[in-house]
Amino acid sequence: MGSAHTLLTRRSWESADVTDLVRDQLALDGDSERILIHGPRAFLAPQSTLALALVLHELGTNACKYGCLSARSGRVSIDWVIVGAEPALHMEWTERGGPKIRAPTKRGFGITLIEKSLGGVGGSAQIRFESRGLTCRIRLPLAENGGRDSSASPPVDAAAIPSG
User: Per-domain residue ranges for the chain?
Assistant: 2-148
Q: Which residues contact 17 (CB under 8 A, 6 or more apart)?
A: 7, 11, 41, 42, 43
- Give the C-alpha separation, 130 to 112, whole Å: 19
Rounded Cα gap, residues 163 and 31, in angstroms: 25
CA angle 91, 95, 99 (to 5 degrees): 160
Query: Which 8-state DSSP code applies to residue 33?
Result: G
For the segment 11-24, the average pLDDT, to the nearest whole number, is: 76
What distance in Å separates the CA atoms of residue 106 and residue 121, rounded to the nearest whole number? 25
pLDDT digit string, tens, across residues 61-110: 999 999 999 999 999 999 999 998 888 999 999 999 999 988 888 888 88
Residue 91 near residue 140 (C-beta atoms within 8 A): yes
CA distance 147 to 42: 5
**Superfamily grouping for domain 2-148:** Histidine kinase-like ATPase, C-terminal domain (3.30.565.10)
pLDDT exceeds cutoff 90 at 153: no
Q: Which residues in the chain belong to E strands, given as ranges? A: 16-17, 35-38, 43-44, 75-83, 88-96, 124-130, 133-141
pLDDT value, residue 148? 53
Which bin fits 155, alpha (ψ -120 to 50), beta or left (φ > 0)?
beta
Q: Which residues contact 32 (CB under 8 A, 6 or more apart)?
A: 26
Identify the pLDDT of residue 109: 86
Q: How many residues does the chain have?
A: 164
Mean pLDDT of 138-145: 86
Quick one: pLDDT at residue 141?
92
When the pLDDT of each residue in the chain is averaged and rounded to a whole number, the result is 82
